[in-house]
Chains A and B, each alone.
Chain A
Amino acid sequence: MAEIDLRTVTGGDRPELRDVVQKDLHEDEILVNMGPQHPSTHGVLRVVLRLSGETIVDAYPDIGYLHRGVEKIAEGWTYPQFIPMTDRLDYVAAISNELTYVLGVEKLMGLEVPPRAAYIRVLMAELQRVASHLVWLGAFGGDMGALTVFLYCFREREKILDLFEMATGARLTYSYMRIGGVRNDLPPGFVEKTRDFIKLMRERLKEYDALFTGNRIFEARTKGIGPLSAEWAIALSAAGPTLRGSGVAYDVRRAEPYLVYDKLDFEVPVGKNGDTYDRYICRIKEMHESLKIIEQCLDALPDGEVMAKVPKVIKPPEGEIYAMTEAPRGATGVYIVSNGTGNPYRLHWRAPTFANLQLIPDTVRGFKIADAVMIMGSFDVVLGEVDR
């Protein structure tokens, strides 16, 4: 029989990782590869766990399995050409990425979008937020073995995707935002369908509540699990519901309002303990707030053009810019350096989940494997965005 050392991770690992994970390995401990192919790492995240029985002694996240060199690609493409590529960063919330990028370019060019376009953008971004949180909630339930919720969430998300399909012609990679506005106006019937959806969604959110929020097992599995202090969250520049779950009321939509967010009435839900449960509650409440925002947008939707006057060839003036939006996973930023040509000289993407990923070792330490799955799930990591 082949000799296989059960205690360590084997294979052609990079020496720097291999040496780190095997350093001072106690004889009661084993190393386990969680991922890159594991049912609950949502993509190709690999975490090397150092286990003592079921308890996690330490965790070492290893990323880069989905690296496509998006930032380098941007340097070879013109500004409008890069829009479809942003869809492929955080593929669960494509619209939010597009929005970040076009806002960056517009800021660089000093463009003002027409009011109707601004409202449509906010409307779409918030619909996307609900859709993205639904994916998260479903996957979170799946991590916990409650597969039924997963299917319920996807059923409702399908309704949002139908709306997106109606407006943009696609279900996942929308390519809808344009520098200076949006590609096309809302199709006839869109507003009514969205209102119907809001009504339905509010009812369905109550059902999720009944399945999760009060459920004794759910509470036992989430309350007090993976606590994250506010100081630590800020220190590691956590973003989105992960940050707000720890009680930091920072939301880019509030802190640095873009588009029409300063005219809209919504709350920024925050948690108290920073545990998995608070992060869950934050996202659920955010869905409610997003529905509120969508309603306000539908009410206030002005008439008019959806595209500003934009030159045929987009050549922003020399300079550099950082633009930030609140994507479903948190503050997403784009840093663009322009040298006055049609291509960005340098483009950097600030991915919120990349920052959140750093929290994994500190939060999972001392918990069980089952908790680690929940904690990682509660950060809502999307590897398309982390690895870029």
Chain B
Amino acid sequence: MNTLEDIYRSSVSFAKGLGVTFKNFLRKPVTLQYPDERPVLPVGYRGIPALLSDKETGKARCTACGICARTCPLGLIKIDSVLGPDKKRILNDYTLEAGRCMVCNLCVESCPFDSLVMANDYELADYDPDKLYFHKDRLVELGRPYEHSDPFHVDEPKKAAAEAKPAGEAKPAGEAKPGPGGEGA
């Protein structure tokens, strides 16, 4: 009798299992055909650190203070600067060793001048390892689409909105547009 019960129970459990796989057969596949289709990146996706630039002059906002270089756990940031006539540092070059960067966001957070940002670009591989040292121009170019280091940019607009109360306009600035980066598009 036990054997019969066992057989019955087994058959039911197998049928159930087959039912589940069949149910999933009817579902839409979740595969993303990557190079043809691209994921919709959320705001604040961390691709690679990039330099923010002044919208008017187009120059990097970086003041060459070197805090990011000291914050980076791996020491990947090298800043080359000279002392200008008005005792301000002038940025000559800003090098990021992108091949080793672990995109931890610490440099962006440490920057007191809001001049670093996490760009959304992710297809940055190269055949030549030397090209993985990103220099100032490349980093400025990567940071061009962004305005703030904080992707959600909640601090000031939220406060401003709370004070002025224009209801609909307190949305976070839509700087980090989802979608592919400038590289492959």
- A: residues with CB less than 8 A from B are 77, 80-85, 148, 152, 155, 158, 162, 165-166, 168-170, 173, 175, 183-185, 187-188, 207, 210-211, 214-216
CA distance A84 to B46 in the complex (A): 13
- Whether B16 lies near A214 (C-beta < 8 A) is yes
Chain A contact surface mostly: helix
Given contacts A84-B104, A169-B46, 6 further A-B contacts (CB under 8 A): A82-B73, A148-B21, A170-B103, A175-B104, A187-B43, A216-B13
B105 nearest CB across to chain A (Å) = 6
CA distance A362 to B167 in the complex (A): 65
Binds A, one of B82-90, B124-132, B149-157: B149-157
Inside 8 A of B12's CB, which chain A residues have their CB?
A: 214
- Whether B30 lies near A155 (C-beta < 8 A) is yes
CA distance A84 to B108 in the complex (A): 14
Q: Using a Cβ–Cβ cut-off of 8 Å, how many residues does chain B contribute to the interface with A?
A: 34
Closest chain B residue to A80, Cβ basis: B106
Inside 8 A of A84's CB, which chain B residues have their CB?
A: 73, 102, 104, 106
CA distance A219 to B104 in the complex (A): 43
* Known contacts A84-B73, A211-B20; A216 and B9 CB within 8 A of each other: yes
Inside 8 A of B106's CB, which chain A residues have their CB?
A: 80-81, 83-84, 175
4 closest Cβ contacts across the A-B interface? Answer: A84-B104, A169-B46, A216-B10, A81-B73
- Whether B154 lies near A185 (C-beta < 8 A) is yes
Inside 8 A of A183's CB, which chain B residues have their CB?
A: 105, 109
- Whether A215 lies near B23 (C-beta < 8 A) is no
- Whether A185 lies near B19 (C-beta < 8 A) is no
Closest chain A residue to B40, Cβ basis: A162
- Whether B172 lies near A184 (C-beta < 8 A) is no
CA distance A187 to B41 in the complex (A): 13
Inside 8 A of B24's CB, which chain A residues have their CB?
A: 148, 152, 207
Closest chain B residue to A152, Cβ basis: B24
> Which of B9, B10, B150, B172 has the most chain A CB atoms closer than 10 A to its own CB?
B10
Inside 8 A of B172's CB, which chain A residues have their CB?
A: 188
Inside 8 A of B113's CB, which chain A residues have their CB?
A: none
* Cβ of B42 under 8 Å from chain A: yes
CA distance A184 to B105 in the complex (A): 11
CA distance A168 to B109 in the complex (A): 13
CA distance A165 to B47 in the complex (A): 11
- Whether A185 lies near B152 (C-beta < 8 A) is yes
CA distance A210 to B16 in the complex (A): 6
Inside 8 A of B19's CB, which chain A residues have their CB?
A: 210
- Whether A165 lies near B20 (C-beta < 8 A) is no
Inside 8 A of A80's CB, which chain B residues have their CB?
A: 71, 106
What are 25 of the A-B contact pairs (CB < 8 Å)?
Answer: A77-B73, A81-B106, A82-B73, A83-B104, A83-B106, A84-B73, A84-B102, A84-B106, A155-B30, A165-B42, A166-B42, A168-B44, A169-B45, A169-B46, A170-B45, A170-B103, A173-B103, A173-B104, A187-B42, A188-B172, A210-B17, A214-B12, A215-B17, A216-B9, A216-B10
CA distance A210 to B30 in the complex (A): 21
Inside 8 A of B21's CB, which chain A residues have their CB?
A: 148, 211
Inside 8 A of B42's CB, which chain A residues have their CB?
A: 162, 165-166, 169, 187
Inside 8 A of A162's CB, which chain B residues have their CB?
A: 42
CA distance A168 to B103 in the complex (A): 11
CA distance A85 to B72 in the complex (A): 12
Inside 8 A of B150's CB, which chain A residues have their CB?
A: 184
CA distance A188 to B147 in the complex (A): 19
Inside 8 A of A77's CB, which chain B residues have their CB?
A: 73
CA distance A158 to B41 in the complex (A): 14
Closest chain A residue to B21, Cβ basis: A148
- Whether B30 lies near A169 (C-beta < 8 A) is no
> Which of B10, B41, B73, B154 has the most chain A CB atoms closer than 10 A to its own CB?
B73
Inside 8 A of B118's CB, which chain A residues have their CB?
A: 169
B26 nearest CB across to chain A (Å) = 13
- Whether A214 lies near B13 (C-beta < 8 A) is yes
- Whether A187 lies near B44 (C-beta < 8 A) is yes
> Hey, what's the 0/1 contact readout for B120-162 against A, CB within 8 Å counting as 1?
0000000000000000000000000000001110100000000
Inside 8 A of A83's CB, which chain B residues have their CB?
A: 104, 106
- Whether A216 lies near B109 (C-beta < 8 A) is no
B182 nearest CB across to chain A (Å) = 18
- Whether B16 lies near A169 (C-beta < 8 A) is no
Inside 8 A of B73's CB, which chain A residues have their CB?
A: 77, 81-82, 84-85
B1-35 contacts to A (CB < 8 Å): 6, 9-10, 12-14, 16-17, 19-21, 23-24, 30
Q: A210 touches which one: B9, B20, B105, B152 (CB < 8 A)?
A: B20
Closest chain A residue to B46, Cβ basis: A169
CA distance A81 to B172 in the complex (A): 29
